[in-house]
Amino acid sequence: MSGALLPHFPSAPLVVTVIIPVFNELAVLPVCLARLRNVLDSLSLSYELLFIDDGSTDGTSLYLDRVASDMDAVRVIHLSRNFGKEAAMTAGLDYARGDAVIILDADMQDPPELIPDMIHAWRAGSDVVVMRRRTRVGDTWMKRVSAHLYYRILNRLSEVAIPPDTGDFRLLSRRAVAAMRSMTERSRYMKGLFAWIGMPTTTILYDRAPRAAGKSKWGLANLAKLGFDGITSFSLSPLRIASIAGAIILIIGSVLGLFVIARALLYGESISVPLAFVALLAFLSGLQLSTIGVLGTYVGRIHTEIKQRPVYLIQGIVERAHMPAQQRQH
């Protein structure tokens, strides 16, 4: 955009950081390193491989330290315990030095051979290159169906569109990394945060490979927690559902109550005790639920405020920068 107006400096070599969160991945690391080096060495740019050791206990830490002492391009950050992949990726974004950053799983489900295409899209002007799965060869039938359903629901509820069939495999420009880092919230649902920043995005389709070796680190409980985090961090709909349900029950209770009273007053019929009781019960519980919903709305505001997300991000400003400052004031 404005690049054409700037004076031309001989450009410094570009650096790409590949962030690889690892938790007990000793079995796949040799393959992972070999494939990454094979791809990256063939490109005309510098790179760093930033391994985030997420509290591994299987010898991964020692292995990585040895690799880092042999290769300048490798850096290892050891977390003090297992914090989970979302935290590991956050650490990676904080410590990456590259002009662009690629996040990649150690188990080779995200093929490193696609990195040149990602870099190409970035050089063509995209801040974000999202990798979208065409197929999920490596995943079980259960995981495929539940992931499909979950992302459809999340998208209905969420305030930003979270693209389906995408994982954490993606490229971010320096600007996109800065945007990610500007979100200081503690509960980090990365897929939501990635979507929140917007910015010019390219999507590349790929076939997700099965795990090269080792076992998946995600149990059902972890996935359920991550799923719940996604909905509660990116949507206040569950609160709204409580308010609406409360309001409906309140209306039913009121109508029923009025009906009982009207019948007694207009037709002189005796008040039906069970009916009156049901009306009272509905009225009171509806009142309670809708009050909780209102209370929840305030809690929701606090929840939104406390995340301290920036209110907006600027992609670019267009102005006649070459005008003298004095003229620009008028």
Whole-number minimum distance, CB 58 to ligand UDP, in Å? 11
H helices within 161-212, ranges in order?
A: 174-181, 190-196
Positive or negative, the CA dihedral 206, 208, 212, 214 is positive
319: DSSP letter: -
99 lines the binding site for ligand UDP (CB under 6 A) = no
| CA–CA–CA angle 56, 30, 173 (5° rounding) | 80
- Distance of CA 110 to CAs 79, 204, 211, 300, 323, Å? 23, 12, 9, 36, 48
Whole-number minimum distance, CB 160 to ligand UDP, in Å? 22
Q: Which is nearer to ligand UDP, 133 or 175 (CB)?
A: 133
Kindly give, in sequence order, each residue whose CB lies less than 8 Å from that of residue 237, ignoring residues fewer than 6 positions away: 157, 231
Binding footprint of ligand UDP, residue count (CB under 6 A) = 16
Whole-number minimum distance, CB 261 to ligand UDP, in Å? 59
Whole-number minimum distance, CB 258 to Mg ion, in Å? 59
Q: Which of residues 183-202 bind ligand UDP (CB under 6 A)?
A: none
Q: In 3-state terms, what secondary structure has residue 245?
A: helix
| Binding residue for Mg ion, selected from 48, 53, 99, 107, defined by CB under 5 A | 107
Judged by CB under 5 A, which stretch of 101-109, 122-130, 279-287, 310-318 contacts Mg ion?
101-109
**Binding string, residues 218-257; x marks residues near ligand UDP by CB under 6 A:** x---------------------------------------
Q: Which is nearer to ligand UDP, 136 or 175 (CB)?
A: 136
Closest CA to 36 of 16, 54, 13: 16
21 lines the binding site for ligand UDP (CB under 6 A) = yes
| Binding residue for ligand UDP, selected from 16, 25, 126, 130, defined by CB under 6 A | 25
53 lines the binding site for Mg ion (CB under 5 A) = no
Q: How far is the C-alpha of 248 from the C-alpha of 88, rounded, in Å? A: 44
